[in-house]
Amino acid sequence: MPELPEVETVRIGLASLLEGGTFRRVTTRRADLRFPFPERFAERLAGARVLRLERRAKYLIAHLSTDEALVMHLGMTGRFHIQAPGEAKPHLIGDYEYSTGAAPKHEHAVFEMQGGGRITYADPRRFGYMLLVPEAELAAHAMMRALGVEPLSAELTPAYLASRAAGRRSDLKAFLMDQRIVAGLGNIYVCEALFRAGLKPGRPASVLATPTGKPTAHATRLVAAIKAVLEAAIAAGGSTLRDYRQADGQAGAFQETFCVYGREGEPCVRPGCRGIVRRNTQAGRSSFFCPVCQR
């Protein structure tokens, strides 16, 4: 699922149950996801109250009354189902409805809240993970400290992008995928932002800066494109893709407005453009772009 807009959608959905709530009982159904669950995970959470649920990049961070933070990453396929106290059955956050009948596969952790709420975490590929980090160590934690700016914050400016891109050898695709530069973009939104900015993914990142390190017009357009595409995606409730879609789901809607992602061979959406969307592989991942609009 999860790039920044999807994680933000999940955060909003989880916050209603988590914020102000207290863990009554936590159960893990296996020892590890990508990494082992933290030592004494269930005991450390039981009785803890969630003060605030934050998103940073693609991480969810639950700040706890115990002076620890529960840090969660969804990997590629992590999903939460929530069941509020009055609800008859669980429903998925930000993706699709709870599957019918059969026990949910790959459900690895269950969080039962005081008052009857229930949250489950499922993750078929298990690229996600959960950490418990003392609040005092959070900012310096290996997973957090190198993260770049939040793209929707005032910190993402043309000048910032130019300063990080100057002298770089990598192409724009790899530059934007790098969480140390801009934190929270992934394959979809990098492709979509580059389309909106009219920039080909294979262009060198250094086109964002002049020889003296000042932002170019490309940098200005790219910043605007990143912010616009993320805001639109969040407003639409994120994106839902092929294999995680269910027939009767309340899926995110943003995938219906992709301009290039997943549209190889289809005509460019820009009115009057005769381009056909192409796909190539960069750093082991697919890039989609219009060879006419994007230069």
Applying CB under 7 A, which residues contact DNA? 1-3, 6, 34, 57-58, 73, 75-76, 105-106, 124-127, 142-143, 168-170, 174, 177, 179, 185-188, 239-244, 283-286
Neighbours of 40 (CB within 10 A): 10
Q: Which amino acid is at 37?
A: F
239: tokens are: 């994106």
Query: Helix 4-18 crosses helix 217-235 at what angle (to 10 degrees)?
Result: 40
Tell me how far, at minimum, the Cβ of 117 lies from DNA, in Å.
Answer: 25
Rounded to whole angstroms, how far apart are CA atoms 262 and 266? 9
Tell me how far, at minimum, the Cβ of 2 lies from DNA, in Å.
Answer: 5
Tell me how far, at minimum, the Cβ of 288 lies from DNA, in Å.
Answer: 9
Tell me how far, at minimum, the Cβ of 120 lies from DNA, in Å.
Answer: 16
Pick the closest to residue 220 from 161, 270, 279, 155 (CA basis).
161
Nearer to DNA, 136 or 283 (CB): 283
For residue 291, the number of C-alpha atoms closer than 13 Å in the C-beta half-sphere is 9
Tell me how far, at minimum, the Cβ of 271 lies from DNA, in Å.
Answer: 27
Tell me how far, at minimum, the Cβ of 127 lies from DNA, in Å.
Answer: 4
Rounded to whole angstroms, how far apart are CA atoms 191 and 197? 10
Q: Is 226 helix (H, G, I), strand (E, B) or coil?
A: helix
Nearer to DNA, 66 or 95 (CB): 95
Q: Which residues are marked as active site?
A: 2-3, 58, 285
Nearer to DNA, 88 or 102 (CB): 102
Nearer to DNA, 52 or 285 (CB): 285
Rounded to whole angstroms, how far apart are CA atoms 155 and 288? 27
Nearer to DNA, 100 or 274 (CB): 100
Neighbours of 10 (CB within 10 A): 26
Rounded to whole angstroms, how far apart are CA atoms 287 and 6? 20
Nearer to DNA, 106 or 278 (CB): 106
Number of H helices, E strands in the chain: 7, 11
Q: Helices (DSSP H) in 102-260: which residue ranges?
A: 135-138, 158-165, 172-177, 187-197, 217-235
